[in-house]
Amino acid sequence: MNTNRRDFDKEAANWDENPARVRLAADVARAIARQVPLTPDMDILDFGCGTGLVALNFAPLVKSVTGADSSLAMIEVMEAKAREQGLNNVHTRHLLPGGSLAGAYDLIVSSMAFHHIEQPAALLRQLFAALKMPGRLCVADLDSDGGEFHHDNTGVFHFGFERNALGDWFRQAGFSKITATTAAEVTRPGRTGAVRTFSVFLVCGEKNAG
């Protein structure tokens, strides 16, 4: 773990130029759509949206999509892409450290952001509060990778997650009907140079009265 902040602002302009990253986000978006029926009345939040590689896929299918990120440059790229694609139901929220996440969303998604969060259990409680009842949360991230996935672990608080441990945190935050599936696989040289396959899970849970 390296707790220095990674400067995502510097990476925003070229973020979408990595084909493996684009493919991974598309796989995650498809995995979410398999788990959650997307309907025209839905308001969706993408936490740690980056340039919108996941969230923008949903915009034509739902009422609104909001991208939330601590990097202003990332959300500016997402806004520009939404304009270019003629999507007028895309909004953004610039999140300051410790800032409020208040909202009333039908679905919250997050892809490859949780390993950058120091206290994921606390974030899960915030995301639970920002959902309507009923509502759903889907989090995609690396299965435990031993710190191998990132070539530079700056800003990486978690070397992936154990699905069961994340599921327990979902339950403690109030979610039920928790599922875990494999959303994607990425084969590439790890930090030590050896080629290996990294898997990305999708854990989903429901906020409901039951």
Ligand X SMILES: C[S@@+](CC[C@H](N)C(=O)[O-])C[C@H]1O[C@@H](n2cnc3c(N)ncnc32)[C@H](O)[C@@H]1O
DSSP 154: B
From the list 174, 108, 168, 101, the residue with the least C-alpha distance to 135 is 108
Rank residues 150 and 208 by Cβ distance to ligand X and give the closer one: 150
State in angstroms the smallest separation of the CB of 210 from ligand X: 30
Among 44, 45, 90, 95, binds ligand X (CB under 6 A): 95
Among 69, 106, 148, 206, binds ligand X (CB under 6 A): 69
Residue 104's region, left for phi above 0, alpha for psi from -120 to 50, else beta, is: beta
Among 29, 31, 44, 54, binds ligand X (CB under 6 A): 54
State in angstroms the smallest separation of the CB of 37 from ligand X: 22
CA 30 to chain CA centroid, nearest Å: 13
How many residues bind ligand X, per CB under 6 A?
18
Work out whether 145 is an interface residue with ligand X (CB under 6 A): no
Among 92, 107, 116, 173, binds ligand X (CB under 6 A): 116
Work out whether 66 is an interface residue with ligand X (CB under 6 A): no
Work out whether 117 is an interface residue with ligand X (CB under 6 A): yes
How crowded is residue 63: how many other Cβ atoms within 10 Å of its Cβ?
13
3-state secondary structure 172-187: HHCCEEEEEEEEEEEE
Question: What is the distance between the alpha carbons of residues 164 and 43, in angstroms, rounded to a whole number?
Answer: 28
Work out whether 61 is an interface residue with ligand X (CB under 6 A): no
How crowded is residue 139: how many other Cβ atoms within 10 Å of its Cβ?
29
Question: What is the distance between the alpha carbons of residues 21 and 16, in angstroms, rounded to a whole number?
Answer: 7
Shortest-Cβ-distance residue relative to ligand X: 50
State in angstroms the smallest separation of the CB of 46 from ligand X: 7
Q: Which stretch binds ligand X (CB under 6 A): 31-39, 46-54, 179-187, 198-206?
A: 46-54
Among 71, 131, 163, 207, binds ligand X (CB under 6 A): 71
Work out whether 25 is an interface residue with ligand X (CB under 6 A): yes
Question: What is the distance between the alpha carbons of residues 152 and 210, in angstroms, rounded to a whole number?
Answer: 43
From the list 104, 109, 91, the residue with the least C-alpha distance to 34 is 109
Residues that bind ligand X (CB under 6 A): 8, 21, 25, 48-50, 53-54, 69-71, 74, 95, 111-113, 116-117
